[in-house]
Structure 1
Amino acid sequence: MRPREVVKAWVDAFNSGDPDAVAGFYDDDAVNHQVTREPVEGRTAIRDMFAQEFAQAEMVCIVEAIFEDGDWAILEWKDPLGLRGCGFFHIDNDKIVFQRGYWDKLSFLRQHGLPIE
């Protein structure tokens, strides 16, 4: 699959709220670095991160644009509450090996009524 197709399928898994489905898109040694926190390393740890986040809040990713450059895909997204962000995905052999996401954590916490750290 092309990187943009991997990311489109990842979005569908993300929107299902199933951490196992989302984790299946990652390489065993993948790194997920959401800039609001320390990088998470390894598929199992990434799966656990999504399980915790899905339990904390209902999250929906609405694709605004997906760009592709070589083995990279860039996702520009919004959610139903107005939060916007973007993610950079490095894809190798149809698996995400590195992901970095940029979004406003303070706005997310406020929108979902979660405690501000």
Structure 2
Amino acid sequence: MKPKELVKKWVDIFNTGDTDQIAELYHDDAINHQVANEPIAGRDSIKEMFRAEFAQAKMVCLVENLFEDGDWAILEWKDPLGLRGCGFFQVIDGKIKFQRGYWDKLSFLRQHDLPIPKV
């Protein structure tokens, strides 16, 4: 599956909150680095990250732009509450090998009435 097709599938699954299905899109040794958080390594850890995130807030990804360049897909997104971000997905052999996302964590926490961590 080409990167752009895979990310379209990722968005569809993300919007259902199905952690089993979304985890299947990643390599066993994949890395997911949402820059507001520490990198997560390994499919099982990524699955647990999504489980925890889906449990704390209803998240919806609305595609604004989706580009493909070689092994990479670049996703520009927004959510219904106005948060915006972008993600970079490296797709090798039809699965996500590396993902990096950029978004404003403080805005996300405020929009979902979640506690703001003390520094």
Query: Do the two structures share a fold, i.e. TM-score over 0.5?
Result: yes
Q: Give the alignment of 1:80-91 within 5 angstroms.
A: 80-91=80-91
Letter in 2 for 1:79: D
Letter in 2 for 1:21: Q
User: How big is the shift at 1:32?
Assistant: 0.1
Q: 5+ residue gaps in structure 2?
A: none
User: 1:55 — aligned with what?
Assistant: 55
Q: Give the alignment of 1:96-111 within 5 angstroms.
A: 96-111=96-111
Which whole-Å deviations, capped at 9, do the CAs of 1:43-98 have from their partners, x for residues lacking one?
Answer: 00000000000000000000001010000000000000000000000000110000
Letter in 2 for 1:86: C
Aligned residues: 117
Distance (Å, rounded) in 1 between the aligned partners of 2:55 and 2:33:
20
TM (normalized to structure 1)?
Answer: 0.99
Letter in 2 for 1:62: L
Percent identical: 70
TM (normalized to structure 2)?
Answer: 0.97
Distance (Å, rounded) in 1 between the aligned partners of 2:79 and 2:55:
17
* 2:36 is equivalent to residue 23 of structure 1: no
User: How big is the shift at 1:2?
Assistant: 1.2
Q: Give the alignment of 1:1-80 within 5 angstroms.
A: 1-80=1-80
